[in-house]
Structure 1
């Protein structure tokens, strides 16, 4: 049972990392290269779509990591799992305090109502997102190391 929990947790967190990595290094650069209205509309749509899915994914990942840590408390590698959980908590806190407020504004922007500094706000979101991606990549790496 513990092995199944370890595999499911690693896959769920790994896919989440892949999506966030893709947003940072594939999707947003593509959208940024499009003409202003197209890129901004794409980011708004992405903010609405991913803004609805990612909170559930982050919390589910954290719950799975907590379950793994609890189930494997006396096993080798549990410290790595606990540290991964702490990093996921950090990513959730970062999201709530830093990224979600920007996303909540940006997901409602249209070419008619976006603020003059919308590009700067998106660049700030991107910079913060790079940090969050680094944090969740580190958490994922720790989970993989705990399997070894």
Structure 2
């Protein structure tokens, strides 16, 4: 049963890392390269869609890692799992304090009511997102290392 928990946790977090990585390094660069307001439309739609899903995914990931740490407290690699949990907590805090406020504003934007600094806000969101991606990749790598 413990092995199943490890596998499910790795898969759930690995998929989350993949989605967030693709947003940072594939989707947003594609959207930024589109002509006119098409990229903005894509980003606002993504903010609504992923903004609804990702909070559950992050919390589920954190719960799975917490259960892994508790259930495997006396197993080899628990320190790595606890460190991964701390990084996931950091990613949630970053999301709530830095990314969600920008996301909440941007998901309501249309080309008729854009704030003057909308590009700056998108660039700020991207920079914070790059850091968050690095944090969750590090957490994922620690969890994989804890398996060995």
TM-score range, shorter chain: over 0.9
Q: How far apart are residue 147 of structure 1 and its match?
A: 0.6
Q: How far apart are residue 117 of structure 1 and its match?
A: 1.2
2:102 alignment partner in structure 1: 102
Q: Partners of 1:36 and 1:129 in 2: how far apart?
A: 24
2:134 alignment partner in structure 1: 134
Q: How far apart are residue 116 of structure 1 and its match?
A: 1.5
Q: Partners of 2:114 and 2:42 in 1: how far apart?
A: 13
Question: Counterparts in 2 of 1:64-83, with a 5 A limit?
Answer: 64-83=64-83
2:50 alignment partner in structure 1: 50
Q: Partners of 1:6 and 1:109 in 2: how far apart?
A: 41
Q: How far apart are residue 83 of structure 1 and its match?
A: 0.2
1:115 alignment partner in structure 2: 115
* 2:89 is the counterpart of 1:89: yes
Q: How far apart are residue 96 of structure 1 and its match?
A: 0.1
Superimposed CA distance per residue, residues 54-103 of structure 1 (whole angstroms, 9 cap, x where no aligned partner): 00000000000000000000011000000000000000000000000000
Q: How many residues align?
A: 148
2:6 alignment partner in structure 1: 6
TM-score by length of 2: 0.99
Superimposed CA distance per residue, residues 3-24 of structure 1 (whole angstroms, 9 cap, x where no aligned partner): 0000000000000000000000
SS in 2 for 1:73: coil
Structure 2 unaligned segments of length 5 or more: list them: none
Q: How far apart are residue 114 of structure 1 and its match?
A: 1.1
Q: How far apart are residue 138 of structure 1 and its match?
A: 0.0
Q: Partners of 1:130 and 1:32 in 2: how far apart?
A: 16
**What's the C-alpha RMSD, in Å, of the aligned pairs?**
0.5
Q: Partners of 1:123 and 1:60 in 2: how far apart?
A: 28
SS in 2 for 1:143: helix
